[in-house]
Structure 1
Amino acid sequence: MIKANVLKIVAHNTSKTFMSTNVENTSLEKKREYYRNLNALDTTDAKPRGWDKAKPFESIPGARCFPVIGNLWRLWMPLFRGKDIVAVHKELCAEYGNILTLKGILGSGFKQLVVLYDPKDFETVVKNEGVWPIRKGQPSLEYYRKLRKDSCPNFGFATLQGEDWFTLRTTANPILLQPKIINEYTEKVDRVTTELVDNMKYLAERDEAIKTSSDFKNEMDKWALESIGVVALDTHLGCLKRNLELESEAQKMINSSKQIFELMYKLDVLPSMWKLMNTPTWNKYVEVIDFLIQTSAKHVNRALDNFDKETDTTKEAGSVLHQIAKKDRNIALSTALDMMLVGVDTTGRILSAGLYFLAKNREQQIRLREEAKRLLKNKNTPVTTKVLAEATYLKAVVKEVTRLAPIGVGNLRTTVKNLTLAGYQVPKGTDIMTANLIPCTTDEYFPRAKEFLPERWLSSHKTANPFAFAPFGLGSRSCLGKRLANLELHIAFLKIIRNFDLSWPHEDMCFTTTIFYGIGKPLQLHIKALNQ
């Protein structure tokens, strides 16, 4: 108790000094000192209110665990029973309630994982995650970083902890999470999306309707990579050129960005011996990441070298890459690499899911098109920040898409202090997953939860608990690229619906989980170009 009180005094005094200065002009070392004190306060062993009345940790219900394979069979279930992990979570929630433990998830890095299903508990976790939240990443990516620590930048925000994470986020946050800066990319992303629309017109004219998804899905990925490239690399990669050669650098980058997570799933979720020996999957994983990092670094360094040669009057002030480089060139490179690693398959998945929902839900598609026609007078009218500011239904559509089809089914944290959750004692150092997709698809929090209803996000509709909806994560470790992702998605949905009529004359799409969540079958959209 004495130690805690002393730390409170130290943190309070440091906080007064820190907050009395201009944060932007405060040195990184002073920021570190301030947060070190707060971190020491956050990581004490004090017992929270209600601890003594809560049930002991050992009495938390535990999902059935088998010898040797533990609870891994639940992760493998989709392979054997055709049931996705989201359906498994719903069954577990129904059987055990709003909290349970999963033991024996070998290879995941978790000896025991506490899973939460109640947004009130999500809120408790987020509000007590500390100033340096701990989020365990993918074991394969962490090992790769150790393997290449002397030859590649300190990339991989998701795998960094403590002061390493803090240094990168403190430098990148004020830029990548600043709406004014991201909005300056509206024109560039609009031009990239125009190329996507042109390619869709070509596919529609060639096939009358896009009935096979290989070409179309590749267009989604090409659009996502090209959009990230203009921001992260300050480079137009040429991904959306028609008939892109398979051996071209751009196509290889597209393939690599998708392969990384397919291989990660095989290494970290499915049975694998990669920790004991260099398996073919591990060797391919290293090869793919090496290529993407080396290629991205080449473009970043070229852009930064050119920037160094420019005069103050010709430099592009709004460039994300250049603004971060002014503070730290290595962090600029690390940030760009992270954006290239996680910004392609993710955004492409959300766009694909959204087009499916709009194709299936005629009324919502028509309403979005009416807004698009009001804001874009003709099919070739560019999207501007003014247009996006007035596109209220568009924003509701994107929110509804990410409610039903977020990239992740939940968020991970390791507790930095003792907590009471769902009436149980949860000690410091416990690995936790907040299964956000479960309340997102539950009528208690979202009436008619299984239906695609963007209207629920308009001003007259409010969600029952804001912590139920977290498509980009929660707290200070939420997705660094969320503003850019939303900009890309807003422009893409608006331009595509302004130019095409979509239909889905098939059975319902199934959604599956690997490393990411998303559509599990080919996106066999039927599209028809609009005349006006």
Structure 2
Amino acid sequence: MLSTEDTLEAAIRALLHFRTLLLAAVTFLFLANYLKTRRPKNYPPGPWRLPFVGNLFQLDVKQPHVVIQKFVKKYGNLTSLDFGTIPSVVITGLPLIKEAFTNTEQNFLNRPVTPLRKRVFNNNGLIMSNGQTWKEQRRFTMTTLKNFGLGKRSLEQRIQEEANYLVEAIGADKGQPFDPHFKINSAVSNIICSITFGERFEYEDSLFQELLRLLDEASCLESSMMCQLYNVFPTIIKYLPGSHQTVLRNWEKLKLFISCMMDSHQKDWNPDEPRDFIDAFLTEMAKYRDKTTTSFNKENLIYSTLDLFFAGSETTSNILRWSLLYITTNPEVQEKVHSEIDRVIGHRRQPSTGDRDAMPYTNAVIHEVLRMGNIIPLNVPREMTADSTLAGFHLPKGTTILTNLTGLHRDPKEWATPDTFNPEHFLENGQFKKRDSFLPFSMGKRACPGEQLARTELFIFFTALMQNFTFKPPVNETLSLKFRNGLTLAPVSHRICAVPRQ
């Protein structure tokens, strides 16, 4: 009997000891989290946070930028949020954005490296790199884009040629309902492919379509909750199934494709006659072959090419898809665009950028699509490189900075009808009007390096499509302006009809 009692007592003591240890461990973790994430004095205000996950569950993963507007309204133009353990500050309003990205931009130049981004890119490439790597890759990319036609007639002719292919592909549907995603994405991607790989692909090419599918899927899933949790608990989540695994696999497949393209280029590479971006990069690598501090290596060739492929495909493609949606749901706007095209260009001559100044209404429509499409609602994030002060608040080194482009482009103080598609926002006395409060390509040293290319593509593709078709919704179908959240905001899947114009 005593033996049984002793055994029971020992078991109770062991259980209490385990509970004590567990309580101590949990208390330590919460204390460590508090000390790590506590806000310093004079830090921008924000909503309450949960340990470890911060404000993650207060933000709707399907539309976080919409929820953030409510916080901004409550806490002001500098609002603090924690994405997991990542401290972030949302900057709202043109005066503060300009102050941050012009007067004190040296403190805002870095990109934050989340665990997922580190796993995929590891401070390589063009978009998410920092320091010497970013400076070298950006300078080289800008120079190379110019060498291969950016701002020149040769590249514009390439875009005009691709616009013809797109018009032909859409015309093949003969006015019947179709999903524009496939054809528009193919046309836009072919422009950056011709610059990076030196070739375009047929729209039905199975490899090309698989690449675009991988890119679209990765872009969409990176905003999923599992990817967000990966950035909070990478050592745990990396072993679990979920959307983060698909994202990582897709990026690896895309990198493998570009690696194969690089190997193919090396076989017949002539340093004196570069054919494309990859050839130019190989030439640059040869110059720095004996240096260990350069970023011109195989890894950065793959990542910078991948960055160009993503940025040159997803963003412009999404804007063009939004443009067809807004045109189709606003037939009176479409009619005015048709009239201007008929008057300035006619039915047979191809549109060119030289027509843009004579077509203020069409130009205004494209700008209004950029405003309303809002494809990068919080801009590409930046990170504080040093402690700084903004609007009297303290921003510590390492803080992630989000630019509230949604708030800027929907500010009722800046726009007459902020939530309505209205090309008149960019017109004054019938002439095109530039707006300071319009920053879809960001500003400062880390502004989009492909802005000029994107603007040229948007004008030529959009004008060519409008020149040849009248866009209408399918019979008995209502078009939706809802979006799909990802690395960019894209229209939800839809069908439209492109009726050939006589």
TM-score, normalised with respect to structure 2:
0.78
Give, in whole Å, the separation in 2 of the partners of 1:284 and 1:269: 10
Measure, in 1, the Cα distance between the counterparts of 2:361 and 2:131: 40
User: Is this contact kept in 2: 1:193–1:223, CA < 8 A?
Assistant: yes
1:405 matched residue in structure 2: 373
Indicate whether 1:87 and 2:66 are aligned: yes
Q: Is the 8 A contact 2:409 2:438 kept in 1?
A: yes
Secondary structure of 2:121's partner?
helix
Residue 390 of structure 1 and its aligned partner are, at CA, apart by 4.2
* 1:363-397 superposed Cα distances (whole Å, 9 cap, x missing partner): 32222222322444325x33344345644433322
CA distance in 1, matches of 2:113, 2:160: 33
Query: Comparing 332-341 with 255-264, which one deviates more in the overlay?
Result: 332-341
Spell out the pairing of 1:32-181 with structure 2 (5 A cutoff). 57-58=41-42, 60-67=44-51, 69-76=53-60, 78=62, 84-103=63-82, 105-106=83-84, 111-127=86-102, 128-130=104-106, 133-146=109-122, 155-176=124-145, 181=150
Verify: 1:284 aligned to 2:246, yes or no. yes
Amino acid paired to 2:449: L
1:234-249 to 2 correspondence within 5 Å? 234-238=198-202, 240-241=203-204, 244=205, 248-249=206-207
**Distance across 1 between alignment mates of 2:43 and 2:355:** 54
Residues in 2 aligned to 1:270 and 1:414: alpha-carbon distance in whole angstroms: 18
Q: 1:135 to 1:527 in 2, by over 3 A?
A: same
Partner of 1:254: 212
Secondary structure of the residue that 1:383 maps to in structure 2?
coil
How far apart, in 2, do the equivalents of 1:157 and 1:347 lie?
18
- Deviations, residues 93-117 of structure 1 (Å, cap 9, x unaligned): 22222121113x22xxx53111121
Equivalent-residue separation in structure 1 for 2:270 and 2:113 (angstroms)? 35
- What is the alpha-carbon distance in structure 2 between the residues aligned to residue 111 and residue 138 of structure 1? 8
Q: How far did residue 435 of structure 1 move?
A: 0.7
Structure 1: 5+ residue runs without aligned partners? 1-55, 79-83, 147-153
User: Which secondary structure state, in structure 2, belongs to the residue aligned with residue 157 of structure 1?
Assistant: coil
Conserved? CA contact 2:221–2:486, under 8 Å: no
Distance 1:230 1:359 in 2: 30
Shift of 1:165: 0.9
Q: Deviations over 1:459-478 (max 9, x none)?
A: 657566x2x32212221111
Paired with 1:254 and 1:375, the residues of 2 have a C-alpha distance of 35
What amino acid does structure 2 have at the position aligned with 1:251?
Q
Rounded Cα–Cα distance in structure 1 between residues aligned with 2:285 and 2:356: 32
Q: Name the counterpart of 1:225.
A: 189
Deviation per CA, 1:266-286: give whole Å up to 9, x if none: 377544465423444444334
Normalization by structure 1: what TM-score?
Answer: 0.74
Q: Give the equivalent residue in structure 2 for 1:295.
A: 257
- State the distance in 2 between where 1:326 and 1:375 align: 44
Name the SS of the counterpart of 1:65 in structure 2.
Answer: coil
C-alpha separation in 2, matches of 1:62 and 1:498: 49
Instruction: Name the residue aligned to 2:423.
Output: 454
Q: Secondary structure at the match of 1:113?
A: strand
Partner AA of 2:97 in structure 1: F
Structure 2 unmatched ranges of 5 or more: 1-39, 287-296
Which of 166, 172, 177 does residue 196 from structure 1 map onto?
Answer: 166
> In terms of Rg, which structure is larger?
2
- Taking structure 1 as reference, are residues 279 and 480 closer, same or farther at Cα in structure 2, changes over 3 Å only? farther
Q: Which amino acid aligns with 1:75?
A: L
Cα distance, 1:123 vs structure 2: 0.9
